[in-house]
Chains A and B, each alone.
Chain A
Amino acid sequence: MPLLYPLLLSSALFGIGLYGVLARRNAVMVLVGVELMLNAVNLQLVAYDAWFAETLHTGQVLTLFVIALAAAEIGLGLAIVMAMFRATGSIDVDEADRA
């Protein structure tokens, strides 16, 4: 399989994720955007790992790190959203500074 396809998919995912982070006002959707961007990176790491056929599989190892990191990050992020909702009654990021 050519390298181009996974890279195109990865770029598309990253672009959608970036759009979500920049444009959405809902804090949960912003976090979803962040997850999409992380997974776009994961996809690239795996694709390059296969492309270079490296014996140590550094790409795959790094992907596992990123997945663990993403799990921790989403846990923390959702906790912040919960706290924000309790404090302000809203999860709109534009209104987070009104607390």
Chain B
Amino acid sequence: MIRRWPYVALTAVVAVAVAIWAIPELDQRAFFGYVPTNATPTMLPSLSLDTRVLPDSAKVMLLAAGVTLLVQVYSTAYMGKDRRYRSYALLIVLFLVAMIAVVATDNLFVLLIGWEVMGVCSYLLIGHWWEQPQSRAGAMKALVVTRFGDLGLLVAIVVIGQTYGTYSITGAWVGAADQGQQHGTAIGLLVLLAVVGKSAQVPLQTWLPDAMPGPTPITALIHAATMVAAGVYVFARLLPLYGNDTTVMTALAVVSGVTMLLAALFALVQHDLKRALAWSTVSQLAYMFAAIAAGAADVGISHLVSHGAYKALLFLGCGVVMHAVGTSALSAMGGLRTTLPATFWTMTIGFAALAGIIPTVGFFTKDRVLESIHVATHGETPLPGGVAWALLVVAYVTVFVTAAYAMRLWMLTFLGLPSKQHVEPPSMTWPLVALGVACLALSIGEPLDLDTAALSTLVALAGIAFAWWRQDADLPGPVQRPLAAELGLDHPITRLIPAGTIGVARVADAADREGIDVYPRGGAVLAGLVSSAVRALQTGRVQVYASVIAVGAFVVVLVGVIAR
């Protein structure tokens, strides 16, 4: 039996250290975009260990540390008998450390390193059960798709360094404040490419649902605390470098608007609890991006933290359900209300937060997102008013769909006839209770805008009523089928792009074989010709050799005489 407490203790030590570091920073009267006056830009591309923790960073750090600790505790029961538990538990710690590096660092290259380490950790953890082909495929897809986005971040870092003469984030902020935002469009679109890959937004959205064969605690970790959150965070953190750029903000608004609605619709038609929750994450991340597009990065981060709490709760609860039922198919569930009581109550809070029902934290942060988009429609932000209106409408429609799928998942999982008896290990339920309490406690002191609250609650209740009316029935066929097939959006990534890559590889191979190889092959032919000429001299007759020597000596003497 593997001893598991040392890993939990290690995680706890890291989490406590992060808490000691981050909690005092929460009080700062600063926000993203605040430019300190005493910043000294470093002019050289260095791997400086400088950190800059602002209140929003501190919130994300506390979220990451807290969720990781709970996931580690939970994993002692969920993964304790796994024969690769050691590497699993240590990779979780590495994941957390990489996330903290991304969040806290003031150096763009350290940020890139942390970003890439997270990519590798997610690859290894999603592929933890690599004996299953779909685990391997999901892990590889996650790695390849996010790596494609990472290209954007790397180029963006170089452009930032060339523009502002520094690789310090604070230094670049100072530069942008002094000289205005230069090359904002280029930097913004490159960073957008990176975060679209990392946070699974359209058109790079498909890796996140396909990462579901990984262990469920890892899914909770990736969806709530680390990987996808890093995309939102980094975009917000670098916002002072392109926040005034209309093109970037419009692109972000379009991406987030399309993603939030599509992903929510995909979640509505899933027959698999875990995959539905994965699409729900994609949709909720789009909310955060929508808030950033509306110029309210702090609102986006607030929703990030709140989503981290309730999505970790939902995935960990989903893990308990899968542990009990043995599958993540919704058809095998139902009636778990009485057999898994703790999971039922905590997940009810989680689903309520997802749907945006008062008094959960999801309600408040989602309302602030809607409110910030509404403010943006007044035309005082870089986002064009028309785009903001469209985004607002899409966001409200998504509130409806979100409430509907949250209700549908909740009904299909917990209501219905009681099933046979199941067990909930205490080390799995305690993290759930902690997160459920957090989902309620975090909402204390959140501001409330009554108009938005009333409207969003009405829309959400309509969504719940819709789900109650449909029960477990599918949507009408012409709507259900394309949505269940996820509109074939996966097709370009899994078919066309590999096919294109293979085509390019064939061309390159032909060019190599037919073009470049001419030179070495020509050299070989030439050497063969020369050697066949020389070979004629090698007759094996000593007298011929002696003749050659004699003639040669004669010629040498003759030349010597003539030259003199």
* Residues of chain A having any CB pair with chain B under 8 Å: 18, 21-23, 93-94, 97
Contact = CB atoms under 8 A, between A and B. Distances in A.
B546 A97 contact: no
A16 to B, nearest CB: 13
A21 B543 CA distance: 7
B541 interface: yes
Contacts of B542: 93
B550 A22 contact: yes
A97 B543 contact: no
B445 interface: no
B538 interface: no
B547 interface: yes
Contacts, number: 12
Nearest to A21: B546
Nearest to A96: B542
B547 A22 contact: yes
Nearest to B549: A22
Interface in B177-232: none
Contacts of B478: none
A22 B552 CA distance: 14
Contacts of A94: 541
Most buried by B among A18, A22, A23: A22
A93 B540 CA distance: 12
Contacts of B546: 21-22
Contacts of A23: 543
Interface in B538-563: 540-543, 546-547, 550
Nearest to A23: B543
* Interface majority SS (helix, strand, loop, mixed), chain B: helix
Contacts of A93: 542-543
A94 B542 CA distance: 9
8 contacts: A18-B550, A21-B543, A22-B543, A22-B546, A22-B547, A22-B550, A23-B543, A93-B543
A56 B547 CA distance: 37
Nearest to A25: B543
Contacts of B543: 21-23, 93
B542 to A, nearest CB: 8
Contacts of B540: 97
Contacts of B550: 18, 22
A97 B543 CA distance: 13
A74 to B, nearest CB: 18
A23 B542 CA distance: 11
A70 B541 CA distance: 24
A69 B226 CA distance: 95
A93 B546 CA distance: 14
B547 to A, nearest CB: 5
A80 B540 CA distance: 19
Contacts of A21: 543, 546
Nearest to A97: B540
A97 B540 CA distance: 9
Nearest to A18: B550
A11 to B, nearest CB: 12
Name the 8 nearest CB pairs between A and B, nearest first: A22-B547, A22-B543, A22-B546, A18-B550, A21-B546, A22-B550, A93-B543, A94-B541
A21 B550 CA distance: 11
Given A21-B543, A21-B546, A93-B542, 4 more contacts: A22-B543, A22-B547, A22-B550, A23-B543
A97 B542 CA distance: 11
A97 B539 CA distance: 12
B92 to A, nearest CB: 80
Most buried by A among B541, B542, B546: B542
A93 B550 CA distance: 19
Contacts of A18: 550
A15 to B, nearest CB: 10
A93 B541 CA distance: 9
B7 to A, nearest CB: 81
A21 B547 CA distance: 9
Nearest to A94: B541
B425 to A, nearest CB: 91
B447 to A, nearest CB: 108
Interface string B516-550: 00000000000000000000000011110011001
A21 B544 CA distance: 10
Interface in B18-71: none
Nearest to B550: A18
Contacts of B541: 94
B220 to A, nearest CB: 86
A61 to B, nearest CB: 26
Contacts of A97: 540
A92 to B, nearest CB: 12
A53 B543 CA distance: 38
A85 B202 CA distance: 95
B546 to A, nearest CB: 6
Contacts of B547: 22
A94 B540 CA distance: 10
A22 B541 CA distance: 10
A6 B553 CA distance: 22
Nearest to A24: B543
Nearest to B545: A22
A26 B542 CA distance: 14
Nearest to B551: A22
B202 to A, nearest CB: 83
Contacts of A22: 543, 546-547, 550
Nearest to B548: A22
A78 B550 CA distance: 24
